[in-house]
């Protein structure tokens, strides 16, 4: 039973490379649309990794890894500047 799914209802992983431009053109890039996408992503993440019956460290370790990567990116210019400094 193949059902035809509209391009605007497809998930990003199901979109072919040739359809990517038109799929992106159908997205809602208004502040409300972006906040809705963030809210849906947070809800999906929370329900998959945090709000589970038998929880593990997977969800929390991903948050920690994301924080480490972001903090490294924020302080990269300072780290790069210190790397070339001579201490003698």
pLDDT at residue 87 in the model: 63
pLDDT-derived band at 1 (thresholds 50, 70, 90) equals very low
Q: Dihedral of CA 76/81/83/87: which sign?
A: negative
Give tens-digit pLDDT for 10-24: 888 888 889 888 888
Q: Which two tokens stand for residue 17?
A: 């490379």
Asked if residues 49 and 63 have their Cβ atoms less than 8 Å apart, the reply is no
Average pLDDT value over all residues in the chain: 82
User: Average pLDDT, stretch 51-78?
Assistant: 83
Res. 42: pLDDT tops 80: yes
Indicate the pTM of the whole model. 0.52
What are the sequence ranges of the domains in the chain? Answer: 1-51, 54-83
Q: Which residues contact 26 (CB under 8 A, 6 or more apart)?
A: 7, 8
Q: Which two tokens stand for residue 29?
A: 């890039």
Q: Which two tokens stand for residue 87?
A: 């201490």
Q: Which residues contact 37 (CB under 8 A, 6 or more apart)?
A: 28
pLDDT-derived band at 70 (thresholds 50, 70, 90) equals very high
């Amino acid at each position: 039973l193949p059902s035809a799914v509209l391009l605007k209802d497809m998930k990003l992983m199901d979109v072919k490379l040739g359809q990517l431009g038109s799929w992106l053109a159908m997205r809602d890039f208004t502040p409300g649309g972006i906040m809705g996408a963030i809210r849906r992503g947070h809800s999906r993440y929370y329900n998959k990794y945090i709000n589970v019956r038998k929880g593990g460290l997977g969800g929390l370790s991903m948050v920690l890894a994301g924080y480490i990567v972001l903090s490294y990116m924020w302080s990269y210019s300072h780290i790069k500047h210190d790397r070339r400094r001579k201490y003698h």
